[in-house]
Structure 1
Amino acid sequence: MQIKTPDIGVDKATVAEILVKVGDTIAVDDSIVLLESDKASVEVPSTVAGVVKSITVSEGDEVSEGAVLVEVESADAAVADEAPVPKAAQAVTAETVKAELVAEEKAPVTASASAQVVDVKVPDIGVEKALVGEILVQVGDEIAVDDSIVVVESDKATVEVPSTVAGTVESITVKEGDTVKEGVVLITVKTASAGNETTQPASRPTEQASAPVAEVKQEQPASAQAGSVDVTVPDLGVDKATVSEILVKVGDQVEKDQSLVVAESDKASVEVPSTVAGVVKAIHVELNQSVSQGAALVTVEAQGSAVAEKPQSAPAEKKSEPVVAKTAETQPAVKTDVSASAQTEKLSKEQQAENAKVYAGPAVRKLARELGVVLAQVKASGPHERLMKDDVFAYVKGRLTAPQATAVAATAPVASGLPSLPDFSAFGGGEVAPMTRLQQVSVPQLSLNNFIPQVTQFDLADITELEAWRGELKGKFKQDGISLTILAFIAKAVAFLLKEEPYFAGHLADDQKGVLLRNEIHMGIAVATPDGLTVPVLRNPDQKSIKQIAIELGELSKKARDKKLSPKDLQGANFTITSLGSIGGTAFTPLVNWPQVAILGISPATMQPVWNGEGFDPKLMLPLSLSYDHRVINGADAARFTNKLTKLLADIRNILL
């Protein structure tokens, strides 16, 4: 099987590193190639498990989406490739529906009387691979066509896979957690009339959706020339549906077959067309209202033309087929974003009005509402300037992959009106050296410090005894492959202290009238890399031993230097520790990382004379720099925090008390 370059948000990327070699045995999601562009560094994972047979790129090559990177021999893939996907499991398109309807007219289907076992396979769900999230049937269950049998999930979609035949579940060939792709057998179904049923699923969606149009038209007499006509809810195959969008308003001039209302259920999203040309006189429904078959939606005053004569009904039905086919095709992707819709802002009435003027199907409109996209701003690629789902995704991706413009817009007020650089040509000139990608994306975050009234509290901790104990332990730890640094002890001590002082791990509320106190401690640990500073997160250090913390610190540091940190590794921190290690310096003022309210800076420890009341003792003193948001933390509280921390570090046994 060929593993190709996925969509990484740019036209071209450079092969920076090849992570496998010919003959390697790899598993699903193992990284095979590292691609770099001016926007990102991305590790491309394997979509199958198997043996690397050939590598078709070299380091330094430029590749684009779809370029073959590696060929992997996989027994499972071979089986899946050889087994043809049943016609009923393919995505329904207008062309396949028409071809099958013509075939049915020419040659009646003869049903087989004998029982037959049919494989139900993974259809095209828009991604190369997905996980089986839930199995909805059991062996022996009686199922009908379109009954959901399995839920498959990917990072882009959650899709219920329907059965393409009716019958009895003979066997289930996958289990929850399995990775599957298009064409993989999910279940086998025993059916007594397989010959007839395997041809029905592809035509059924079109029949169900086109029938309502015909029914609405038949309600009007062919001889009617003018008058008020009520457009009603057609048969959607469900008892009730919800009015998700009203595409017209009173007074609008509408054409015959122009969409008036979008009705949605848990199974379909259908645009209800006007059965006549005329003027909208009344709208009988509101957004989010539940309606059932036969309920009046809109009243149209027909103007001077016959209402849907029988000879013209066939073209009208055919015209609706592409809409239905596209709805069926895009429905899984729309389902995916339902969970995200709660987090998106609803479009304003003005934006909804703009959307209503655009030629787009119901699935596309629903997707646009959930993503907060104004369809009028999206470039259409479909026939007759029809907007497609891919157009919406391309628009969103274009907005997301233009961070420079977004960062400039976001940080313009933060810059407080700084003027442009002066012209240095009279002084020898210069050239712009680009910052690393990591430095560039840090600019907007760091600029937020202009809004934080920040103060830094300095202190010194006597770690003489702690360092002696660490010296005794590190030899044993090293034998186990663990690097025991002083940072592990500091992280444990700070985590213990944050349980007593929760405000230092909190966040200033948006209304600035309260503090959000977190239930857990997740500590950011700053790590220096060749590309700049990055801050992976150490989870729940208060619940872990110093040995566990040391192990995880080593793993996070390695992932940071190898550019293998995932987005989740960088999220959720409510306190940060940054250390200069042995680089040098005596103290510094670290910047609070919003939305956190405190950060602890560690400078190199040095031997210093400390007065004991009678003389000076040599002590190893560790400089501490605690920066904090003065809106949340008072100076006295900060001084008390660092004082407690110095006592914990002077005798780590206090943690046990």
Structure 2
Amino acid sequence: MFEFKFADIGEGIHEGKLLKWFFEEGDEVKDGDNLFLVETDKVNAEIPSPITGKLSKKMASVGDVIEVGQVIAIIDDGNEADDSEQKAVEPKKEAVGEGEEETAGVVGQIEVSSEVIESSHEMKGKNDINKKKVLATPVARKLAKDLGIDITTVEGTGAVGRVMKEDIYKAKEALDTRANNKDVEAQEGEMKAKDEGEATYISPIKVPEMKFEGEVERVSISMLRKTVAKNMVLSKSLIPHAATMNDFDVTKLVQFRMEQKELAEKAGVHLTFMPFIIKAVAIALKEFPVFNASYDHEKEEVILKKFYNIGMAVDTPDGLMVPVIKDADQKGIFQIARTMEELKLETRNRSVSLEKLQNGTFTITNYGAIGGKYGVPVIKYPETAILGVGAIEKRPIVEDNQIVIKDMMPITLCIDHRVIDGGDAGRFLMRLEELLKDPMLVLLN
């Protein structure tokens, strides 16, 4: 029998919701067949079977939240022993004399000895020499290592205080609970000033219970929406936002796009204004590096990034996601356009990989695509700025004392006011407008 566990599928993924089983109990599955579909806070992932055999038992149902390391299915691969880890069996009942300890019994031949297996090196630190020795099976030690648990801190419930798998799972649950409580306390507690005279953040008021007199309906939100909510609270709680707005004259850009639209179609490219905006932003970021940075709150340092990965906010039925166009400064307009279309398609059908959602340095949100004009977008932590793009429309403006009709694009730039001032924001927008006002400047860079 093989115990199939929900494995770590990427950085930051700790749990997911089981959306669908592709096989029923009793069905034959092959190595590589997709066994079930899981929704995480970032992507929907089809999880393949690592072995060929018969699906003997489902250990989770559709709708259940499953955690990394949890057994999800039992697969009968024809072997009596468990292939994923040798199952512990009842040890031989022998009298334990002074200086002896009961040894673990496992499937297969094992030499009986009173020697305690030396604690493995998981979570080992400089003070480990003072820690107690632990009785545990190799199975329990491996599980502790996989889950990041210091096995010397776990109280064993097995014979002679032996640490069992169940003890490891309980320790992991307790550790996660403590970590969550600390996060809540950190967000709600006061941030004490390091130096006398610094301002302090006052704890927010307790949220009152919601009471309604009319008919209501409660609707569960997706894991993605929960993540969006947490990220928005994190950003607005930690980053002091400031915003500046402007209207860019993009008449030449509109004309240039129309002229090159046929050429783009022949090349298989759907040419929009966004590739030009992304390229112009990448150029401006090189000239204003603080906009391509992160602020380390603890060390009070600005981290200037030497790579230019532009995030592109994508509206999906489940919530906002931000795939990233890597090395945008090194790509041409057509290449950016192709990458955009691929990312949007993968994001909306939730097949985008985690790697394509990570390591962004600056984000652009185009609410103009759905007719919006102005907005005040929320900075994606830990970035220092975000650009909001509104819908282009023809407007009468005064130019050389004459009223003329121009294509105007509303722009909003939100900044982290801890490291960026209004003057910096104004200069950044002036350079960005200069680039977008004449598309040849973008192409020649």
Preserved contact between residue 392 and residue 409 of structure 2 (Cα < 8 Å) = yes
Distance 1:603 1:407, change over 3 A: farther
Partner of 1:13: 18
Distance 1:509 1:548, change over 3 A: same
Partner of 1:320: 114
Partner of 2:198: none
Tell me by how many angstroms 1:356 deviates: 2.1
Partner of 1:470: 257
Of residues 367, 379, 386 in structure 1, which corresponds to 2:162? 386
Preserved contact between residue 374 and residue 411 of structure 2 (Cα < 8 Å) = yes
Partner of 1:262: none
Partner of 2:48: 46
Partner of 2:214: 428
Distance 1:67 1:564, change over 3 A: same
Is 1:396 paired with 2:398? no
Partner of 1:587: 374
Is 1:493 paired with 2:280? yes
| Count of matched residue pairs | 398
Within 5 Å, give how 1:534-549 maps onto structure 2.
534-549=321-336
Within 5 Å, give how 1:199-598 maps onto structure 2.
256-257=99-100, 318-320=112-114, 323-324=116-117, 346=125, 356=132, 359-360=135-136, 373=149, 375=151, 378=154, 380=156, 382-388=158-164, 391-392=167-168, 395-396=171-172, 408-413=184-189, 416-422=203-209, 424-425=211-212, 427-428=213-214, 430-448=216-234, 449-511=236-298, 513-598=300-385
Distance 1:560 1:408, change over 3 A: farther
Preserved contact between residue 591 and residue 599 of structure 1 (Cα < 8 Å) = yes
Corresponding letter in the other structure for 2:375: F
Alpha-carbon deviations, 1:319-368, whole Å to 9, x = none? 337x55xx7xx97xx6xx6xxx6xx9x5878xx86x52764479967986
Corresponding letter in the other structure for 1:444: K
Partner of 2:37: 34
Tell me by how many angstroms 1:535 deviates: 1.2
Tell me by how many angstroms 1:513 deviates: 4.3
CA distance in structure 2 between the partners assigned to 1:91 and 1:446 by the alignment: 41
- Comparing 524-533 and 415-424, the one that deviates more: 415-424
Preserved contact between residue 347 and residue 372 of structure 1 (Cα < 8 Å) = no
Tell me by how many angstroms 1:31 deviates: 5.2
Corresponding letter in the other structure for 1:34: L
CA distance in structure 2 between the partners assigned to 1:555 and 1:477 by the alignment: 16
CA distance in structure 1 between the partners assigned to 2:17 and 2:112 by the alignment: 41
Tell me by how many angstroms 1:631 deviates: 1.8
Tell me by how many angstroms 1:533 deviates: 0.8
Corresponding letter in the other structure for 2:18: A
CA distance in structure 1 between the partners assigned to 2:419 and 2:408 by the alignment: 29
Distance 1:548 1:32, change over 3 A: farther
Distance 1:476 1:12, change over 3 A: closer
Preserved contact between residue 410 and residue 444 of structure 1 (Cα < 8 Å) = no
Aligned-pair identity in percent equals 30
Partner secondary structure for residue 410 of structure 2: strand
Distance 1:364 1:550, change over 3 A: same
Corresponding letter in the other structure for 1:631: R
Tell me by how many angstroms 1:385 deviates: 3.4
Partner secondary structure for residue 647 of structure 1: helix
TM-score, with normalisation over the residues of structure 1? 0.50
Partner secondary structure for residue 491 of structure 1: helix
Partner of 2:193: none
Distance 1:408 1:508, change over 3 A: closer
TM-score, with normalisation over the residues of structure 2? 0.71
Looking at CA atoms only, which structure, 1 or 2, has the larger radius of gyration? Answer: 1
Partner secondary structure for residue 261 of structure 2: helix
Alpha-carbon deviations, 1:80-128, whole Å to 9, x = none? x89x99x9x9989999xx9xxxxxxxxxxxxxxxxxxxxxxxxxxxxxx
